[in-house]
């Protein structure tokens, strides 16, 4: 009898603690859109190989992006993006390290959608700048998805736009992040 | 009369030059990506060797493999499909956390269906670099991948 109670207690503890502390993906998406308003030419690239980790306990989150992994519809645009703008041979990675400021409001064990504020540092093109944005965290049957949109000023990251294309390339790029995260086992 | 012919000739030549420059710009501007299936690989490597190369010397390996077309032999560890239908295939040692991660070209999606977890396969794609991660395992990442051979 004692053994059974012990077993029950143990399994109850295990069950309550069974939701993972960390969630991750390696196939997260980051969309880069520098289309100038009014210009018919879409300047848009997507990266589908983004690594993201979220620590449910602390609210810490991290993103790692390989710049060369941005795919543009036009080959020439992709070449210019890599060679002239972000210089991905010199700066192959972009990184975001931050924290969900109101992480205590998110219950990772329960289904729901939460609006969160994310603050952190974005490193791109060798420059690190503070970024703050609103995002959404959705919990659905143990799966966590995270999404956020924010603007970055290209000049903040020392990415210069030649005068010739100044009317086509926006001075600020819209970055959209969307990740479906899985529980990290272990 | 002679002068007029000359002018006409010059005008004609100029017109042809302008038209070909225009055509070149138009074509270059609208150029799409080459299908990876039609590109000869720059290197042929075994998945686990490629991972080892990056783990021991990331900078040197970046120089060697970055932006190159690689043909990779390995064991299929996992095949995942995202909500928009894009496939991602990992190759490597199933006992290790590290992999070669191939983001598949969507026009070759039908080839992915033929792959099987645990079987050997050869993939081809463009190397975008290395993501070192102690917690999640390190990945060599390839984009616009196609299946070359399945077993």
Q: For A60-92, what is each residue's pLDDT tens digit? A: 999 999 999 999 999 999 999 999 999 999 999
A127-140 vs A143-153, strand pairing mode: antiparallel
Say yes or no for a CB contact (<8 Å) between B82 and A48: yes
Are A184 and B141 within 8 A, CB to CB?
no
pLDDT for A163 equals: 80
* Strand pairing class (A112-124; A93-100): antiparallel
In angstroms, the CA A25 to CA A53 distance is 7
B101 and B48 within one domain: yes
Average pLDDT, chain A: 89
- Tell me if B79 sits within 8 A of B117, measured CB to CB: yes
Does residue B124 contact residue A12 with C-beta atoms inside 8 Å?
no
Going by C-alpha positions, the residue among B95, B109, B98, B119 that lies closest to residue B147 is: B109
Which site among A28, A30, A40, A69 would you substitute to test the B interface, given the most B Cβ atoms closer than 10 Å to its Cβ?
A69
For A130-143, the pLDDT digits (tens) are: 999 999 999 998 88
- Assess whether B76 and B118 both reside in one domain: yes
**Tokens 């000739």, residue?**
B9
Average pLDDT over residues A18-33: 87
Q: Average pLDDT of each block of 10 consecutive residues along chain B (151 residues)? A: 88 95 92 92 96 94 95 95 91 93 93 90 96 91 91 56
Q: Which one of B59, B86, B143 would you mutate to disrupt binding with A, by most A Cβ within 10 Å of its Cβ?
A: B143
Tell whether B45 and B117 lie within a shared domain: yes
Domain housing A45: 20-183
Residues ≥6 apart with Cβ < 8 Å to A72: A43, A44, A45, A78, A81
Q: How far apart are CA A115 and CA A92, in angstroms?
A: 31
CB atoms closer than 10 angstroms to residue A75: 15
| pLDDT at A11 exceeding the cut of 80 | no
Picking from A51, A67, A71, the nearest residue to B133 by CB comes out as A51
Is residue A153, in this structure, part of any structural domain at all?
yes
Identify the helix (H) or strand (E) that includes residue B65: helix B58-65
pTM for the full predicted model:
0.85
Domain presence at residue A7: no
Residue A85: alpha-carbon gap to chain centroid: 21
Which domain, by its residues, includes B47? 36-150
Residues B79 and B129 in one domain: yes
pLDDT (tens digit per residue) in A96-127: 999 999 999 999 989 999 999 999 999 999 99
């Amino acid at each position: 009898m004692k053994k059974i109670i012990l077993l029950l207690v143990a399994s109850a503890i295990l069950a309550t603690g069974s939701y993972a502390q960390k969630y991750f993906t390696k196939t997260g998406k980051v969309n880069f859109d520098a289309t100038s308003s009014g210009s018919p030419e879409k300047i848009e690239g997507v990266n589908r190989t983004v690594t993201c980790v979220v620590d449910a306990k602390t609210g810490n989150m991290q993103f790692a992006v390989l710049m060369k992994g941005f795919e543009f519809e036009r080959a020439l645009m992709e070449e210019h993006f890599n060679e002239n703008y972000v210089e991905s041979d010199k700066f192959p990675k972009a990184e975001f390290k931050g924290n969900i400021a109101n992480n205590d409001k998110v219950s990772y064990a329960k289904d729901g959608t939460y609006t969160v504020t994310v603050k952190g540092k974005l490193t791109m093109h060798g420059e690190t700048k503070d970024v703050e944005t609103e995002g959404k965290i959705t919990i659905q049957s143990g799966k966590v998805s995270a999404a956020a949109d924010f603007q970055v000023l290209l000049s903040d990251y020392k990415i210069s736009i030649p005068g010739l294309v100044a009317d086509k390339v926006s001075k600020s790029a819209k970055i959209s992040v969307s990740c479906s995260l899985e529980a990290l086992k272990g | 009369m002679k002068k007029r012919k000359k002018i006409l000739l010059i005008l004609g030549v100029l017109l042809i030059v302008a038209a070909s420059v225009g055509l070149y710009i138009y074509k270059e501007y609208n150029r799409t990506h080459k299908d990876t299936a039609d590109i000869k690989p720059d290197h042929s490597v075994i998945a686990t060797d490629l991972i080892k190369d990056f783990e021991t010397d990331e900078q040197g390996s970046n120089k060697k493999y970055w932006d190159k077309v690689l043909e990779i032999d390995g064991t299929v560890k996992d095949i995942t499909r995202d909500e928009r239908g894009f496939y991602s295939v990992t190759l490597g040692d199933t006992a290790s956390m590290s992999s070669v991660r191939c983001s598949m070209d969507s026009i070759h999606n039908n080839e992915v269906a033929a792959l099987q977890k645990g079987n050997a396969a050869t993939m081809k794609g463009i190397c975008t670099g290395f993501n070192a991660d102690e917690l999640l395992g390190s990945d060599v990442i390839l984009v616009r991948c196609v299946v070359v051979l399945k077993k």
